[in-house]
Structure 1
Amino acid sequence: MSSPNIEDRVISLGSGLATIPERLLLAHARGEVLFICGAGISKPSGLPDFRELVVDVYARLDTSVHSVLAGLPTGVCNQWQVDCSSLTERQTAEVKRFVVGDYDVVLGMLERRLDDQTRGDSKVRREVAARLSPGIHKPAPIHRALMRLADRGGAKTIVTTNFDLLLQKASQRHRPPIATYALGSIPRPSRQTDFSGVLHIHGALNAGVSRFSELVLSDQDFGEFYLRRRVVPDFIYDAARLFHLVLVGYSANDPPMRYLLNAVAADGSRFDDLKERFTFFGTNAPDPVSLEDWKGRGITPIRYDSNGNHHALLATLERWAELSAVNGKKPRSTRSFGGLLR
């Protein structure tokens, strides 16, 4: 009997944990993995995901629309019938965009309605900054696990679309301190040690909440930084040629997913130097349709059981960090994957 292809071999890190492709574990040991983190990693710290953030903003700025949004179940689709009889036409348009999950568009529409702008110190951005206030929330264990996995051997590098500073807080004891970069200041991807730090590709809130931070928040922001200035896609294209990108904390319908990797997937059929992309995604039961949905986007899914507030994801990342060898060097205090991969 022939042995299984390395493309199909997966490793179980423990009972109840996600099984991870062997090729990804080996790539991480060589320092060739770059984690990209979404809003899901900050929910254990009490921060909202994108949908919840939109609802929170409306609670402060438009209570009539909020009363409609708050009554919608999570996961509704564009077939859902919403009673908007008490709303204006502009408010109704925002609700309909919310129902289909276009949260970036919703915030842009709200900004234009309230402030006639989608940049600067708008009411929407002030509320977003207040809701994600850097001084209130503390990092969760998943932030610390990811910062351990971000070690490429001589450099810690991790990418996030989150505005919060919890990854930085999780690494405060690291010496020398981990640098923070946002948007245009982010270093160009390379395998050198100067490509390091917490890289906020959608911007980061300033530790002083009274100071304005440039954020990729609305549909116009995505157009600015993805299409016109191309700050984010150029970064992702370069990173995808050097590293295996691993997504953590995203759902398939998150707005960043529509912009972040769809174009990279299209390039995969034309350029053979693109690395394989992976995502951790949680379901409470096997879901072959979701698996195929991710694969259809050019991303290899790693499923875990989402029951128990996604405990299996945290336990998997912590175990991976515990066992990991960085650039082939075994950690002194634990055994590496050598025993598992034989």
Structure 2
Amino acid sequence: MRLADRGGATTVVTTNFDLLLEGGTKRGSRVDTYALGSIPRPTRQADFAGVLHIHGALDPDQSRFSELVLSDQDFGEFYLRRRVVPDFIYDAARLFHLVLVGYSANDPPMRYLLNAVAADGSRFDDLRERFTFFGTRSPDPVALEDWKARGITPIHYDAADDHKALQLTLERWAEYSAINGKPNRINAEIRRIVKSTRAAASETDKDLFDHLIRRSNTSERIRLAAVASKAKADLGWLDAISKIGAEKERTLRP
């Protein structure tokens, strides 16, 4: 839920029926619940927020009926007849990078839908890249190629110890979040990385450094540049910051 925070708007899509994600926000904060036909159209505006249950959500009042996608008829209703899920996925794929976590996407309608989105990549240049965290206990090259064939980039990890590697990755990613990450942790990483010259640094450290700079707004980038400079970073690191800043300026030009 911390990763789903876009700054004033927390948005996450789930196929789960339960309301456990709604309970995972900060104490005192509120997140809305939407299901099926009530889900708002994707937009970058702050009003596109909440936990979005694309297969329905259980009503907290157990005496009330909950509309859920369970049977083949339900899939036909919401994927084909009403087109609730396809229209949502098509729009979201053009506005956001989609990241699947703990979802195999093996439901035939969803599988065909994601294949259709991948096919759109050859026709529309605004389609964002899609990713999935894919865990196995042993190498599975066939499954990796299957994800790629669906136009989704698999991020493989060792699924041992109840997917512990994924949990640690998500926790660390949240700590580095540009929205609600831990500045002290980010500063410490910058100082650690620039202890060596950029030429001698590992590709992993260079990628992390560039990511922390690239995802930042102007004020945060200036702050991180000051942290690197104070840590006596060599010119290679400072030059990288300048180049990333120039990238953003080119992107913003009409």
| Alignment match, 1:171 | 25
**Aligned Cα RMSD in Å?**
2.0
CA distance in 2, matches of 1:155, 1:259: 30
Q: Which is bigger in relative contact order (C-alpha 8 A, separation at least 6)?
A: 1
Cα contact 1:252–1:294 (8 A) shared by 2: no
1:334 corresponds to 2:188: no
SS of the residue corresponding to residue 183 of structure 2 reads coil
Change (3 A) 1:206 1:273: same
| Alignment match, 1:89 | none
Change (3 A) 1:253 1:266: same
1:158 corresponds to 2:9: no
Note the C-alpha offset of 1:174.
4.4
Note the C-alpha offset of 1:314.
0.8
CA distance in 1, matches of 2:93, 2:154: 16
| Alignment match, 1:275 | 128
Note the C-alpha offset of 1:255.
4.7
| Alignment match, 2:103 | 250
1:323 corresponds to 2:176: yes
Deviation sequence 1:19-47 (CA, Å, 0-9, x none): xxxxxxxxxxxxxxxxxxxxxxxxxxxxx
Note the C-alpha offset of 1:341.
2.1
Note the C-alpha offset of 1:333.
4.3
Note the C-alpha offset of 1:168.
0.5
More helix by share: 2
SS of the residue corresponding to residue 279 of structure 1 reads strand
SS of the residue corresponding to residue 154 of structure 1 reads coil
| Alignment match, 2:220 | none
Q: Which amino acid aligns with 2:67?
A: E
Change (3 A) 1:252 1:330: closer
Cα contact 2:17–2:53 (8 A) shared by 1: yes
Cα contact 2:174–2:181 (8 A) shared by 1: no
1:149 corresponds to 2:3: yes
Deviation sequence 1:237-268 (CA, Å, 0-9, x none): 11000000000112253456425422211222
| Alignment match, 1:124 | none
Change (3 A) 1:330 1:217: closer
Deviation sequence 1:292-339 (CA, Å, 0-9, x none): 11000110000010111111111111111112223xx86434316765
SS of the residue corresponding to residue 274 of structure 1 reads coil
1:301 corresponds to 2:154: yes
Structure 2's unaligned 5+ residue stretches are: 194-207, 211-254
CA distance in 2, matches of 1:254, 1:311: 26
| Alignment match, 1:224 | 77
Q: Which amino acid aligns with 2:10?
A: K
CA distance in 2, matches of 1:223, 1:289: 29
CA distance in 2, matches of 1:253, 1:279: 13
Note the C-alpha offset of 1:286.
2.4
Deviation sequence 1:224-244 (CA, Å, 0-9, x none): 111111111101111000000
Q: Which amino acid aligns with 1:316?
A: T
CA distance in 1, matches of 2:26, 2:209: 33
Deviation sequence 1:63-91 (CA, Å, 0-9, x none): xxxxxxxxxxxxxxxxxxxxxxxxxxxxx
Q: Which amino acid aligns with 1:242?
A: L
SS of the residue corresponding to residue 185 of structure 2 reads coil
Cα contact 1:304–1:312 (8 A) shared by 2: yes
SS of the residue corresponding to residue 334 of structure 1 reads helix
Change (3 A) 1:234 1:247: same
CA distance in 2, matches of 1:260, 1:318: 30
Change (3 A) 1:285 1:335: same
* TM norm structure 2: 0.71
Structure 1's unaligned 5+ residue stretches are: 1-146
